[in-house]
Chain A
């Protein structure tokens, strides 16, 4: 009845407004977003908010070594007298940088390969997805260990090793969605309207993958940070004196249990950052109502 004529509706909320409203009523997403924003701000402004920014380097102050947490040293000090709180904040910087670089490579690569394999099918599909299957069979941590053993253990190699495998998860996710969307009428309609392959891949199919990608990427930030910290813990990631959460947990563990703060508090920082991203990802998943991812 109200087919073409009814346009005078009350003020309507735009899509963005509706999503924002639902977001603000989703405690998981809010807590996650709060933690993530806090960590990002702390990482950006680390030199200004930390009490001892100079402790990031190879500073030695034996008079104040192994001090327990106090008003001066919130997280205590380590075996050469450096402030653990300052080093933890700078360590977050490295962790976030690792996540950004790894996912900055893995997400676009995986997305494009998944789109191409899912849409074109046939030999392209077989080649891309079998390579993906092979890469999926190798755990990222093992791959990073091998790369660190062959090349030298440093941040760049760790990033490349993790990114070199991480794209597979995104390729699989986008592949599955593309396969499902490929035969949908809106894709066929675009084909009959004369749209090119690029248009169909990036304008028709990709926008329908965005919510799944956002959820997956947010969850993955948490997991990449954990893998990166694991590498450093094993001594194959970031090398001292650059502060890294994993390295700090490893060096502090020599002094357990007496000087517990030296490994437990940086460990809690890893948990905190990773938890923030994973909560945010879970919250976004509820928000977008996408199917179970990981």
Chain B
């Protein structure tokens, strides 16, 4: 295979801001001229705190939100305006942040997993076998197919969501904070499972998270997103060991540490006089926060 699995070029998304009368009074740039690409078989981590635009990027890749400008190429195919669903031909799937809301509470696990099978014309007589197989793949017992989401734990539900995303094997799996709604003890298991499945099914991952310690273990390349822009990108080891941008240093400095050795590795806090600016406090279209950070 040649070329990147996912290539994003100058992707921009602005949302209109309406005043009390519903008139458009301005706009907020959620994603600002973002470009990156993911080679087949790699895990690309997109790091950033809430409001940095990382979920908006995921939604644009999935066709749930239309980009204002820029292009998205999936496996060489331009999918920028393709809309969600079948037009992506099952090449990309997504695991949502909260499995509690991404599974329909009124449908059984088996019914939820069979959605992509039915949508892509999987033979009806083979459906039950395939559901069992998928549940086994995510290390859940086959009898879970008859259960409802509320009977499962958060980690089990997220495994179901993963099984569903893999039912029609995609090439790219977008993980939007897949572990942030889960207990810490369960997070590592879900990540292990994803690594294992990625190897077995030859998957490429876009891993979106604010959790840098998870990212350090999971992602091979990383892009740091701040107020809709990628401020730093590169191989995970390089970025984490020698962060060049002050925002990356700040993020790394705020990762909780477990030992004195880790504490010693922690970079010095670059910002002393204030908090990190978020987009709602930022004057529209300005770059002042970057300038301030870079001083």
Report which A residues bind B (CB closer than 8 A): 1-4, 7, 12, 15, 184-186, 188-196, 199, 203-204, 207-208, 210
Contact = CB atoms under 8 A, between A and B. Distances in A.
B143 interface: yes
Q: Which 4 A-B pairs have the closest CB atoms?
A: A194-B119, A207-B106, A3-B155, A185-B102
Nearest to B144: A7
- The residue among B97, B101, B104, B155 with the most chain A CB atoms within 10 A of its own CB is B104
Contacts of B118: 195, 199
B143 to A, nearest CB: 7
Interface stretch (B6-14, B82-90, B228-236, B261-269): B82-90
B242 interface: no
Contacts of B96: 185, 188-189
Interface in B94-153: 94, 96-98, 101-107, 111, 115-116, 118-120, 138-141, 143-144, 148, 151, 153
Nearest to A9: B151
Interface in B6-56: none
Contacts of A15: 148
B91 to A, nearest CB: 11
17 contacts: A2-B153, A3-B186, A4-B156, A4-B159, A185-B101, A186-B101, A186-B102, A186-B103, A188-B102, A191-B64, A191-B85, A192-B64, A194-B85, A194-B119, A195-B85, A204-B104, A207-B106
Contact of B164 (A4, A185, A193, A208): A193
A191 B64 CA distance: 8
B63 interface: yes
A7 B141 contact: yes
Contacts of B111: 203
Given A185-B101, A194-B120, A207 B155 contact: no
Contacts of A204: 104, 107
Nearest to A187: B104
Interface in B219-240: none
Contacts of B62: 188, 192
A193 B120 CA distance: 9
Nearest to B164: A193
- The residue among B86, B93, B106, B140 with the most chain A CB atoms within 10 A of its own CB is B106
Interface in B56-86: 62-64, 84-86
A207 B156 CA distance: 23
B143 A190 contact: no
Contact of A208 (B84, B90, B105, B120): B105
B197 interface: no
A185 B99 CA distance: 9
B168 interface: yes
Contacts of A195: 85, 115-116, 118-119
Contact of B106 (A4, A199, A210): A210
B199 interface: no
Contacts of A208: 104-106
B92 to A, nearest CB: 8
Contacts of B98: 185
Contacts of B64: 188, 191-192
A191 B62 CA distance: 9
Contact of B116 (A4, A186, A193): A193
Contacts of B159: 3-4
Interface in B235-251: none
Nearest to A211: B106
A138 B225 CA distance: 56
A192 B153 contact: no
Given A189-B96, A194-B85, A7 B115 contact: no
A190 to B, nearest CB: 6
B104 A186 contact: yes
Given A3-B156, A193-B116, 4 more contacts: A3-B155, A189-B96, A194-B90, A199-B119
B84 A192 contact: yes
Given A4-B155, A12-B151, A195-B119, A184 B94 contact: no
B140 A4 contact: yes
A1 B185 contact: yes
A210 B107 CA distance: 12
Nearest to B104: A186
Contacts of A210: 106
Contact of B107 (A184, A192, A207): A207
B275 to A, nearest CB: 30
Contacts of B189: 3-4
Interface string B146-185: 0010010101100101001101100000000000000001
A189 B85 contact: no
Given A3-B156, A4-B155, A194 B168 contact: yes
Nearest to A191: B84
Nearest to A205: B104
Contacts of B106: 207-208, 210
B60 to A, nearest CB: 12
Contacts of A1: 185-186
B104 A207 contact: yes
A208 B165 CA distance: 22
Nearest to B190: A3
Nearest to B103: A186
